[in-house]
Amino acid sequence: MSRRASAAALAACGLLTLAACGEEADPDDRNEVSAKLADPDGKKVGTVEIEEDDGATQINVRVSGLSAGYHGFHVHTTGKCEADSAAPDDSSKTGDFLSAGGHLNPDDSAHGEHLGDLPALLVNEDGTGSLEFTGPFTLTDLRDADGSAVMIHAGPDNYANVPERYAPEGPDEDTTKTGDAGDRIACAVIEAG
């Protein structure tokens, strides 16, 4: 594009909203999302990048300043990361990032098979961690009408894998919903598409 033509495109751009302008300038933008992971105080603790290419969705996450060990890691249903907020389906429950709802679960499965169940995030002794994997969902699944949220928990996730000798009746509802990964310590908003 000549310098004059790109200046004209830029001027036309100014007349549109920024979002519409971005789409027009680079249609491939829609296949990639980058979101900030923040703690309940709003402090950045990492970045999550999600890229869809040829039907495969690659997720790349990097964190720092977290406690060492395995952390439960999921996509939750709603793109709202509010500290000390109420759960969308039960306003009597409040806590950090409860605004994001439960695990992304369009098929009504039990925990361990939720669409939003991700591999555990391992944080090293120095507080940093990174993870790259192929997800089972598409960007369209994540960018539905209310968006979604990528969540890191305080503790490890048991994927509802509780041996029968400990729970002859099977795991309870908490476990089959959450994997007992504990408090929500970092959250990233994936905006609606």
By the rule CB under 5 A, 186 interacts with Cu ion = no
The residue (of 49 and 113) whose beta carbon lies closer to Zn ion is 113
By the rule CB under 5 A, 111 interacts with Zn ion = yes
Site for Cu ion in 54-83 (CB under 5 A): 74
By the rule CB under 5 A, 153 interacts with Zn ion = no
Stretch that binds Zn ion, among 57-65, 103-111, 127-135, 183-191 (CB under 5 A): 103-111
DSSP states along the chain: --HHHHHHHHHHHHHS-HHHHHHHH-GGGGGEEEEEEE-TTS-EEEEEEEEEETTEEEEEEEE-S--SEEE-EEEESSS---TTEEETTEEEEEETTGGG-SB--TT---TTS-TTB-PPEEEPTTS-EEEEEEESS-HHHHTSTT-EEEEEESS---TT---TTT-TT---HHHHHHTT--SEEEEEEE---
114 binds, among Zn ion, Cu ion, none (CB under 5 to 8 A by kind): Zn ion
Work out how close the CB of 117 gets to Cu ion at its nearest, in angstroms, rounded to a whole number.
9
The residue ranges that bind Zn ion (CB under 5 A) are 103, 111, 114, 117
The residue ranges that bind Cu ion (CB under 5 A) are 74, 151
